[in-house]
Structure 1
Amino acid sequence: MATPVAEHVSRVEAAITNGLAARSPIAASWARSAQLHHLDPSSNPNEGRITAHELALARERLGPLLPMAAPHLDRLFQMVGGLGACIVLADAQGVAVDRRGSPSNDRAFEESGLWTGTVWSEADVGTNGIGTCLAEGRAVTIHRDQHFLARNIDLSCSSAPVHGPDGALAAVIDVSTARADLGDAVAGLIGNTVAEVARKVETDLFHQHFPRARVVVVPGLDRGQGALLAVDVDDLVIGATRAARQHLGLSGDLASAPKLLADLLGLEGHDSLERAEQAVLTRALVRSSGNISAAARALGLSRATLHRKLDRS
């Protein structure tokens, strides 16, 4: 009678051999694991764990992301900790730099490698929540025998990417559990929750990075997707989240090469000096609640000059 390990190895090898990679994202990841990274699903590779000094440097490289994510990870653990789950925050190299877990489960998770300092890239351990999320740049749930290595088939892992204010993939949030009674439906709910938390971290990072900018939600998209633009006082877009960049086709450093908000969103702009001046006058009147004298003072104009400009418009 075949062992669970042998059955898993046969299933993985058959999927790769039969060309399922073209039709299944999981099989495609298995193929990468075997053919690109030369991993064996039956192997038990040495646990990749970096030194304490290297871990400290990895945490430092994340900058404000680590403290910004901390309260969100705390709340996430309050929601899923009762399922026997642990939470891992990994950097863009797949290194676990922070985690949350119940002390009663810590030993089991440490033995599984779900611990700070361990490396979960696809190149190191094949198909898994963190590594496959990084490889594909999207939220994934790798449920039990969808893992590449047989040693990981008791785990169910849901991961979501966290992109920095520049749109680059900066980290991954992962929730993993070894509970055998965790069904596909519950795993899917956990995956949705992790993705939502990742977007909240992205949003907080974006607001912190552009403290003086006006943050605009890109219309026509679900607010939960986090498609945000940072706009300066001249209505120039100087920053955009990953979702906004994808939707609007933006790339590069927007702070150095900004875009007009009106052009990006198809809005009517103020392309003449006369119309731009009218917009300035209107804003001054609104801020002064229609008080001509107060608006004139705010603009550095005499009351008569402001009247003349308004009459001309």
Structure 2
Amino acid sequence: MAAKRPCGAMFPRSDHIREIENVGMGMATGRDEIVVQSWLRCLEQHQLDPAQNCEAFIVPDHKLREHRQQSEELINIARSGLEHLFQQVAGQNYVLLLSDRQGVTVEFLGDPLFDNNLRKAGLYMGSEWSEGRAGTCAVGACMETGEALTIHQTDHFDNTHTPLSCTAAPIYDMRGSLNAVLDISLLSSPILKASQNLALHLVNATARRIELANLMANTRHEWVLRFARSPEFLDVDPEAAISIDPNGRVIGMTHGGAKLLARASGLDWRRPETLLGQPLSLFFDTDIDSLPDLTRSRPTEERVLFARDGNALFAHAIEPNTRARRRMPARDQIPSPLRRLGGDEPSILALQAKAAKLARTRLPILIQGETGTGKEYLARALHDGSGLSGRFVAVNCAAIPEQLIESELFGHVPGAFTGASAKGRKGLIEQADGGTLFLDEIGDMPYTLQSRLLRVLAEQEVLPVGASEPRPVRVRIVSASHHSLPEAVREGRFREDLYYRLNTATITLPPLRERPDFDWLVERVLKRHASEGNNPALSKAAILALKAHAWPGNIRELDNVIAVATALCEKGHIDLADLPEHLSCEGETDADAQALRQLLVACDWNVSEAARRLGLDRSTVHRRMKRHGISQPH
């Protein structure tokens, strides 16, 4: 349930309030369905009361700074697009808001003459327009549906917002997740909702261009394919784009690109993980070797590409920036412990290079990443590459009982408490003197101990339990958390001053589902579990299943899956049947069924020949045919 909004006094029920209440009772209304569904969410999910008038909510300044810092890259990329849109609507009293994925306005363009009115209406920097906070509104409804829309006047849930007319479009990141919302609003407007059709077109087009700029900025070293239905717009204003790695797999896309890929393959754009990592040939009648034919070396009207669903598109291929790629450090220039973190893909090589530079400093480092992404492995690699003479000491703050963590970390003098060692004991911080102290799951450290850790960082000294004099220590702190520490700070569970001390330098480990070196990791794990006489290889079907999985447990989960599959497989061959059942199901998609049918046709329905080409047993192919309802036509 959403947090209760700060609201004013109750007001008599107006026609607008009664209409919302009628919708809640299942009665029909002439509103757009998207408005009706939002009203129902406000009533049932967010438990908001339409009879309570609520002022717009502006987050405090320190919270706004946090939101803007987290969105800094997006703001910089989007700024020129926002300014161009603002110029297009100049003189029409529109206000532009760029909201982050929490619905907080992190960039704002409006007429300064109306600042007071705009702030009061919530059309201002720092305003929060999530549906749970503001009720039905363009930003909130856009976040919920993922689609561009207009919420016009009395479409709004809250009475205080009914003078407004707001139009919003989603901005997706290159992995297919909602990244931000672009909103264009009026304090007052003509009565007809259709008056905002042009605004809807403009905000949609601007969001598309921001997504394209973001994709281009983050894939300078990869192939990019841009698409348009008309050759005249291909080079100047493409409708969609995707990026492709050196192995010919899709690694990024705009929202239009996601929808295009989904249509071509029969998959769902709302499940971007099924599109990413797939070969280009799954979606189009081409592969990476043919992309040079779609560069500007050929006339625009000749650059035609056919999607697997039969649609023809004009395509523009942009080559990787090879000169920038050559500036990337060679693997042999990175210390060996850090080289073992990943493969040769540019983003992984950049992560290794950053870690190598930070390893040689004594700066505190915060490692962020989901559970199982290898945070402790990276921490050890940072220590091994640092040249420090002291020990590497790892502490899991979530695993030590709260009543023991103080003495474990800081140590104690003889007889400091009941049960204490008669000789006293060095704490883990002192044991790491001259080396590295790795604090895993730092977000779970008790709040009362956080101030003592802050003193270690600030004063380079530790005070054991029961001691009156501190002891000097020189220790390098590396911490990690799969929790959002900024969120913990906002909720009062983590000290803000400690967070900024620990966050001096940050390294973010990508989740396994986003690793561009996925194949390299699988090979490494396979080698780890290989034994004499059992050095298995993965079938194509098993590889597809592994790539289709979301990997909530990341590398740790992959390691477990490969370990079991290696033990179960026969004849040195890991097939779908050797993987956990939920992975086997994920690996079988409509696209797989179509590919199997095409292969059988190419083999004149000779199942043995199809099995040979797939590297599978004949019985496995028969099982897959039965599962997909494939049979030889008479």
2:61 counterpart (48, 52, 67): 52
Deviations 1:85-119 (Å, cap 9, x if unpaired)? 11111001110111000012221111111111121
Q: In 1, Cα distance between the equivalents of 2:272 and 2:26? A: 38
Map 1:60-79; keep pairs closer than 5 Å: 60-79=69-88
Deviations 1:189-210 (Å, cap 9, x if unpaired)? 1011101100000000000010
Give the equivalent residue in structure 2 for 1:16.
Answer: 24
Compute the displacement of 1:5 (Å): 6.6
Map 1:283-294; keep pairs closer than 5 Å: none
Map 1:77-116; keep pairs closer than 5 Å: 77-116=86-125
Aligned residue type for 2:18:
S
Q: In 2, Cα distance between the equivalents of 1:200 and 1:182? A: 30
The structure-2 alpha-carbon separation of the partners of 1:109 and 1:5, relative to structure 1 and needing over 3 Å to count, comes to farther
Does structure 1 retain, via aligned residues, the 8 Å contact 2:222–2:244? yes
Aligned residue type for 2:285:
G
Which is further off, 149-158 or 77-86?
77-86
Q: In 2, Cα distance between the equivalents of 1:178 and 1:29? A: 21
Q: In 2, Cα distance between the equivalents of 1:161 and 1:25? A: 15
Give the equivalent residue in structure 2 for 1:237.
Answer: 250
Q: In 2, Cα distance between the equivalents of 1:177 and 1:5? A: 26
Q: Give SS of 1:44's match.
A: strand
Q: In 2, Cα distance between the equivalents of 1:258 and 1:28? A: 34
Q: In 2, Cα distance between the equivalents of 1:18 and 1:231? A: 48
Structure 1 or 2: more helix by fraction: 1
Which is further off, 220-229 or 115-124?
220-229
1:130 counterpart (115, 131, 139): 139
The structure-2 alpha-carbon separation of the partners of 1:237 and 1:103, relative to structure 1 and needing over 3 Å to count, comes to same
Aligned residue type for 1:208:
A
The structure-2 alpha-carbon separation of the partners of 1:35 and 1:234, relative to structure 1 and needing over 3 Å to count, comes to closer
Q: In 2, Cα distance between the equivalents of 1:50 and 1:178? A: 21
Q: In 1, Cα distance between the equivalents of 2:187 and 2:55? A: 21
Aligned residue type for 1:82:
G
Give the equivalent residue in structure 2 for 1:161.
Answer: 170
Q: Give SS of 2:49's match.
A: coil
Q: In 2, Cα distance between the equivalents of 1:5 and 1:179? A: 23
Q: Give SS of 2:43's match.
A: helix
Q: In 1, Cα distance between the equivalents of 2:32 and 2:185? A: 26
Give the equivalent residue in structure 2 for 1:247.
Answer: 260
Give the equivalent residue in structure 2 for 1:141.
Answer: 150
Give the equivalent residue in structure 2 for 1:264.
Answer: 283
Deviations 1:282-312 (Å, cap 9, x if unpaired)? 9xxx9xxxxxxxxxxxxxxxxxxxxxxxxxx
Give the equivalent residue in structure 2 for 1:307.
Answer: none
Which is further off, 224-233 or 108-117?
224-233
Q: Give SS of 1:252's match.
A: helix
Deviations 1:252-286 (Å, cap 9, x if unpaired)? 398xx73322232133x59xxxxx8xx8xx9xxx9
Give the equivalent residue in structure 1 for 2:463.
Answer: none
Does structure 1 retain, via aligned residues, the 8 Å contact 2:54–2:160? no
Deviations 1:27-62 (Å, cap 9, x if unpaired)? 111111111111112212354322212111111112
Map 1:163-312; keep pairs closer than 5 Å: 163-181=172-190, 183-218=192-227, 226-248=239-261, 249=267, 251-252=272-273, 258-267=277-286
Deviations 1:93-152 (Å, cap 9, x if unpaired)? 110111000012221111111111121111011110111110111101001111011111
Give the unaligned 5+ runs of structure 2.
Answer: 1-10, 262-266, 298-634
Count of matched residue pairs: 270
Deviations 1:223-269 (Å, cap 9, x if unpaired)? 77843111234433222223323332373398xx73322232133x5
Q: In 1, Cα distance between the equivalents of 2:88 and 2:227? A: 30
Q: In 1, Cα distance between the equivalents of 2:120 and 2:25? A: 32
Q: In 2, Cα distance between the equivalents of 1:111 and 1:199? A: 30
Q: In 2, Cα distance between the equivalents of 1:181 and 1:48? A: 26
Aligned residue type for 2:142:
C
Compute the displacement of 1:4 (Å): 10
Aligned residue type for 1:240:
M
Aligned residue type for 1:260:
P
Please say if 1:7 is aligned against 2:15. yes
Q: In 2, Cα distance between the equivalents of 1:95 and 1:6? A: 29
The structure-2 alpha-carbon separation of the partners of 1:112 and 1:195, relative to structure 1 and needing over 3 Å to count, comes to same
The structure-2 alpha-carbon separation of the partners of 1:225 and 1:12, relative to structure 1 and needing over 3 Å to count, comes to farther
Scaled by the length of structure 1, what TM-score is found? 0.77
Give the equivalent residue in structure 1 for 2:527.
Answer: none
Note the aligned Cα RMSD (angstroms): 3.0
Does structure 2 retain, via aligned residues, the 8 Å contact 1:213–1:231? yes
Aligned residue type for 1:144:
Q
Does structure 2 retain, via aligned residues, the 8 Å contact 1:144–1:152? yes
The structure-2 alpha-carbon separation of the partners of 1:167 and 1:47, relative to structure 1 and needing over 3 Å to count, comes to same
Which is further off, 164-173 or 219-228?
219-228
Compute the displacement of 1:166 (Å): 1.3
Give the equivalent residue in structure 2 for 1:297.
Answer: none
Q: Give SS of 2:125's match.
A: coil
Does structure 1 retain, via aligned residues, the 8 Å contact 2:242–2:257? yes
Scaled by the length of structure 2, what TM-score is found? 0.39
Q: In 2, Cα distance between the equivalents of 1:70 and 1:37? A: 33
Q: In 1, Cα distance between the equivalents of 2:82 and 2:257? A: 24
The structure-2 alpha-carbon separation of the partners of 1:235 and 1:19, relative to structure 1 and needing over 3 Å to count, comes to same
Q: In 2, Cα distance between the equivalents of 1:181 and 1:258? A: 47
Aligned residue type for 2:54:
P
Q: In 2, Cα distance between the equivalents of 1:106 and 1:135? A: 29
Does structure 1 retain, via aligned residues, the 8 Å contact 2:227–2:238? no
Does structure 2 retain, via aligned residues, the 8 Å contact 1:62–1:170? no
Q: In 2, Cα distance between the equivalents of 1:146 and 1:4? A: 19
Q: In 1, Cα distance between the equivalents of 2:32 and 2:195? A: 25
Q: Give SS of 1:141's match.
A: strand
